[in-house]
Structure 1
């Protein structure tokens, strides 16, 4: 039987025409990636490495060349205390998240541009969870930088951690990987094709869809959060047309991973 074995969300922002981010609202998107340290591990506990990647406005997180070179944590300003949040379990926590200890969100500077008005950071943590755990974690907070739909929208970046042995090869799977730079400039009045880079260490079938519901996208759930007629294809290609100069949009999508392959548009187990 074909089975969805993992999902991960990715969120990033698009803007029509060049602009600098200087607003006090601060989030520019992110994603969560995880994998077992040993996909063939035995025993009742499995060690996994969870990597969080987030992008922020420069005014909130002024990562410097020195911060990046020295591997220092993102500077925290008094305007936002969410860096001290944790990557909490939000679904199937009581029975499906055995041993999970939520890591901090506060991450380390990796990239920055004062001209573009953004900083990027990441952190990786090794967590031990029980074999057969299957639960969802998320970083949920507010506020996105001002968008067309809201001046301070909430976000939720989520990932399903499925630590059940795969039926097709009896090893643990890794989460799908999707990364995007944020923000991205799109022209006004011209259809723009954006290919979201995706990958998977297990060679599984990967498909994308719009995020939906509070746990997956907070206040920025497509299609209502995007211009009319914006399309996402299963191969993670997005077609979008900017309507007005200086409009900002948050794009929230889910990357889904399956055993099997597609034939005549249908998913079949292999």
Structure 2
């Protein structure tokens, strides 16, 4: 086992490296190729994504060469996703061999994903599971125990006449958290096809669930000192207390047709790891790096199929002598990463490049975390690409003197403003999305801001978004 001497000297708790068995978590999601019912059957695309100990053996190793060659992670024929509940007759077991997309030398992890099409009758439901052994030994709960990752597929026609698409959730496979500090963690979950669905997040459970099977095996309730879980935002609070120990997170993301619905239309799993560390008191600076741009955390943008997508991960360091040495990531198949670029004294950049293909239609998630030379990890930064869609553009209004449009003369009692876009716009699920009004005559000082996610004064009517001021704040002049 390789233990970096630098870490022993500088950082207590990072000297315990992943060891033991090889599973590191994953997820499964699904969508119909055509959500408009036609005939008596529907073709469903199932997506699986798994993370492994990259040093377990050569089959689980991933590197830049394997990614460039579209190589695999896993061993063909070793493990399968099988049907475990419901109408299983039309499910064909799915190999868990995946295309290599990501790896981290520092975290000793490889990740990859695979898409597979299968056809099922309409109005049928069943649960599929990836269950085998084992998790790593060094877990807060469930060490060296079997894993169980379970997904519910339901082709029942929805009340609105369409076939459902499951939500997605995304995470890095391993996230570092300092011990003895109350941590608040948010999991990005989204359903960008069925935009009005109600999403809820819950802990995976061993019984009494929609899947009718054990969803998490030995790692159910695997995080210590959890104080709450907000099901609507998938936000939870916890505290790790043992440095050098991992804790397994097992969640189910479920979609409901309305707020009054009690039975989910699908249930998708997300399992990943937290790692607890303790900072040495001899360190002069312990501020972790931060991903600062270009887009805000949990942003969503549309990208056409076949387009050239370039994303810049910009990382800032705050401690003298620290440097970014690794970027742990979870990216779509086909996305490549540049080497780490030291672009200015405290700034590092990684360039991501990708051409989305037709099989990736719909939401595709990206998560990243920067690691410095003493193994401090930035907070997780995630975003979602909506493949096959273009982001709506704001139609620039024509300036007409005396109008009440977003530009031009604004009357003192003006309280309604509207923004027109080239595509329909819906209320976002991203926290911290705002519309700002500023005073150009006073150095662009803030007049008022509206939270697009919850403020009832922001009204979405398709191609027009209306902003309503309860009281007109304008000063004549």
Task: Say whether the fold is shared (TM-score over 0.5).
Answer: yes
Q: What's 1:228 paired with?
A: 225
Structure 2 counterparts to residues 188-207 of structure 1, below 5 A? 188-200=179-191, 201-203=193-195, 204-207=197-200
> What secondary structure sits across from 2:253 in the alignment?
strand
Pair 1:207–1:19, CA change in 2 (3 A): farther
Pair 1:59–1:180, CA change in 2 (3 A): same
For residues 143 and 97 of structure 1, the distance between their equivalents in structure 2, rounded to whole angstroms, comes to 25
For residues 127 and 191 of structure 1, the distance between their equivalents in structure 2, rounded to whole angstroms, comes to 44
For structure 2, the 5+ residue unaligned runs are: 1-11, 207-212, 263-477
Structure 2 counterparts to residues 121-136 of structure 1, below 5 A? 121-136=112-127
Q: What's 1:243 paired with?
A: 241
CA contact 1:144–1:154 (8 Å) conserved in 2: yes
TM-score by length of 1: 0.82
Structure 2 counterpart of 1:91, from 69, 77, 85: 85
For structure 1, the 5+ residue unaligned runs are: 1-15
Q: What's 2:129 paired with?
A: 138
Structure 1 counterpart of 2:19, from 5, 18, 23: 23
Question: Does 1:32 pair with 2:28?
Answer: yes
CA contact 2:20–2:144 (8 Å) conserved in 1: no
Q: What's 1:158 paired with?
A: 150
Query: What's the CA shift for 1:19?
Result: 5.2
The one-character-per-residue Cα deviations of 1:146-199 (angstroms, maximum 9, x if unpaired) are 2122430211111100001001x1110111101110111111111111110101
Query: What's the CA shift for 1:98?
Result: 4.4
Report the aligned-residue RMSD. 2.0
The one-character-per-residue Cα deviations of 1:9-46 (angstroms, maximum 9, x if unpaired) are xxxxxxx9545644131111100010000001311221
For residues 17 and 124 of structure 2, the distance between their equivalents in structure 1, rounded to whole angstroms, comes to 40
Query: What's the CA shift for 1:132?
Result: 1.2
> What secondary structure sits across from 1:89 in the alignment?
strand
For residues 185 and 72 of structure 2, the distance between their equivalents in structure 1, rounded to whole angstroms, comes to 31
For residues 86 and 258 of structure 1, the distance between their equivalents in structure 2, rounded to whole angstroms, comes to 29
Query: What's the CA shift for 1:260?
Result: 1.1
Q: What's 1:45 paired with?
A: 41
The answer to which structure, 1 or 2, has the higher relative contact order (CA under 8 A, 6+ apart) is: 1
The one-character-per-residue Cα deviations of 1:190-212 (angstroms, maximum 9, x if unpaired) are 11111101011212100111111
Which is greater in Rg?
2
Pair 1:75–1:88, CA change in 2 (3 A): closer
Moved more, 175-184 or 229-238: 229-238
Pair 1:75–1:156, CA change in 2 (3 A): closer
Report how many aligned residue pairs link the two structures: 238
